[in-house]
């Protein structure tokens, strides 16, 4: 069986992104591979073995266009309302807290945060299928 191990996003300034993901989700550097024209930084936390790979192309000077193909990464937390307030207090750009309940049945409580490169990161209440 295959095991999913990481997802990659391209960033304009890796130090800025590393700091943001540390502040927002307590992700730490688990490895960094530095080459002449690019650097790969792998971030993770103790909650999951899944890693986020930040790719810095050293000659890049303009922000990436995210296009319409990227959707989002998602994190689950024990108390999404408290996490929302904490992120706001840290000055992190977040959207409204949403209760998604089509047909009156609660499917998920969540909000989106926006990282320094414009990527949307979903933060979900740990419940149901989101564990």
CB 124 within 8 A of CB 73: no
In a domain, 106, yes or no: yes
Distance CA 131, CA 128 (A): 7
In a domain, 64, yes or no: no
Question: Same structural domain for residues 123 and 88?
Answer: yes
Question: Same structural domain for residues 54 and 75?
Answer: no
* pLDDT by position in tens, the chain (length 131): 868 899 999 999 999 999 999 999 999 999 999 999 999 999 999 988 899 999 999 999 999 988 877 778 999 999 999 999 999 999 999 999 999 988 888 889 999 999 999 999 999 999 988 88
Range of the domain at 93: 71-131
Distance CA 70, CA 14 (A): 19
- Residue 125's SS3 state is strand
What tokens appear for 112 in the block? 């989106």
- Residue 88's SS3 state is helix
């Amino acid at each position: 069986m295959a095991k999913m191990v990481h997802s990659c996003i391209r960033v304009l300034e890796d130090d800025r992104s590393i700091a943001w993901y540390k502040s927002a989700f307590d992700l730490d550097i688990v490895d960094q591979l530095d080459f002449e024209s690019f650097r790969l930084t792998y971030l993770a936390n103790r909650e999951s073995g899944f890693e986020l790979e930040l790719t810095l192309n050293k000659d890049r000077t303009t922000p990436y266009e995210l296009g319409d193909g990227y959707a989002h990464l998602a994190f689950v937390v024990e108390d999404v309302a408290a996490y929302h307030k904490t992120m706001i207090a840290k000055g992190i750009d977040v959207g409204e807290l949403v209760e998604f309940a089509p047909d009156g049945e609660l499917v998920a409580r969540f909000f989106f945060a926006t990282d320094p490169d414009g990527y949307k990161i979903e933060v979900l209440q740990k419940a149901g299928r989101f564990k």
